[in-house]
Structure 1
Amino acid sequence: MRVYLPATIGMLRELVAKDEFLPINGTGFALTPALRESYTSGSTEELEYVAQLDAARASLRLIAADLEGEESVTPRRVVVAADLDDVEQRPDLDNAVVRVGGSVPMSAVASVHVDGADAEDAVLAAAKAVDAADLGDLDAEFAIGDAEDHELAWYAPQELPFLLELL
């Protein structure tokens, strides 16, 4: 199953250094039967994109947590796409939510999706507003929309060292 795992630039650095990725709480997003049933139409590719967008929004939460910890933060959403077998569907949390058992080896990573530099201001504003957006704040939701207007760039796993060097 293709699973979309939310991450940060710091987590990508760990992936490259350790050759494995440890998702926070094992949380990922995928095209689950519950997600498919929640849409009246849509191809597999379109519905996988929905799961990827859910992971990108979850990446905003990870960036927000890093901001609270006053860590050095590169405000870019990151989604690691991996092909995994050990996945538990969690429709009790949301239609696309899955739990991954353990760490994800680099060999399972199919691609990585990262915001470009032009998205940093919008991502920073969205990360600061993500909790308020969940509570119905329309201005905060607008900030999230600004970040989501930026498409994530696609990278092959072997390109990660070069990407991180350029940041």
Structure 2
Amino acid sequence: MRVYVPLTLSRLAQVHKDGQIGPAPLTAYAVTPGLREWYLSGNEEELEYAALSRAAQSSLRLLAIDPTVPRRRVVVAADVPDRTAVADPDRALEPDALGEVRLTEPVPLAVLAAVHVDAPDAEPDVTAAAAAVGAADLGDDDARFTVDGAADHELLWYGVQEIDSLV
């Protein structure tokens, strides 16, 4: 199963050093039955993009928690055994849990497929969005607009062999 794991650049550096993303359990995003039901008209590529976007939102929340890390969203795509990615059936259709899975094992560097990272020019919008995400969650429309500004930036694709140059 392809999963998308939200990280920060600092955490990506640690993953590169450790040789894995861990310890488990880990939150990731995937094309789950709930995500498929929510996006009825989406093809597989669109559903994968939706899962990646959910992980990018989660990466933004990681940035909001730690103001010391570089202000760029990071999402790692990995191919893990289906048995290690478990969706919570009680939350499957809740909007804030769409596509969310718990990984029951660490993710070895060897199963990473790609790394997605904001371009440096996205940093001002990502910085503002990280500062506003809490207020957006509470219903502030101006904060929501600011958070959506970060989502306007497409994450760039990098091969796993390029992690060295990213960190």
Provide the TM-score with structure 2 as the length reference: 0.91
CA distance in 1, matches of 2:22, 2:157: 20
Distance 2:33 2:145 in 1: 30
SS of the counterpart of 1:144? helix
Give the whole-Å Cα distance in 2 for the aligned partners of 1:103 and 1:154. 23
User: 5+ residue gaps in structure 2?
Assistant: 92-96
- TM-fit CA distance, 1:19: 1.0
Distance 1:45 1:23 in 2: 29
- Which residue is 1:158 aligned to? 161
CA distance in 2, matches of 1:139, 1:91: 33
- Other-structure match for 2:34: 34
Report how many residues are paired. Answer: 160
Aligned-pair identity in percent equals 50
* Paired letter, 1:136: G
For residue 101 of structure 1, what is the amino acid of its counterpart? Answer: T
The residue that corresponds to 2:94 in the other structure is: none
Consecutive unaligned residues in structure 1, runs of 5 or more: none
Select which of 98, 101, 122 maps to 2:101: 98
Question: Could you tell me which of 129, 139, 143 is aligned with 2:146?
Answer: 143
Q: C-alpha distance in 2, partners of 1:51/1:7?
A: 14
1:61-115 Cα distance to aligned partner (Å, 9 max, x none): 1011112xxxx32000000111111111124342211000121100111101000
Contact 1:119 1:150 in 2 (8 A): yes
Equivalent residue for 1:123, pick from 113, 121, 126:
126
Contact 1:81 1:112 in 2 (8 A): yes
**Paired residue type of 1:90:** D
CA contact (8 A) 2:6 2:55 kept: yes
RMSD: 1.3
Which whole-Å CA distance do the structure 1 matches of 2:142 and 2:25 have between them?
30
Are the counterparts in 1 of residues 25 and 106 from structure 2 also a CA contact under 8 Å? Answer: no
C-alpha distance in 1 between matches for 2:160 and 2:88: 27
Taking the aligned partners of 1:25 and 1:107, their CA distance within structure 2 comes to: 18
1:63 equivalent to 2:63? Answer yes
Would the aligned equivalents of 1:7 and 1:78 in 2 still touch at CA under 8 Å? yes
Kindly indicate whether the alpha-carbon contact (under 8 Å) linking 1:91 and 1:97 is maintained by their aligned counterparts in 2: no
Conservation of the 8 A alpha-carbon contact between 1:122 and 1:147:
yes
CA separation in 1, counterparts of 2:109 and 2:6? 15
SS at match of 1:136: coil
Q: Partners of 2:25 and 2:151 in 1: how far apart?
A: 24
Contact 2:24-2:105 at 8 Å conserved across structures: no
Task: Give the alignment's TM-score, normalised by structure 1.
Answer: 0.91
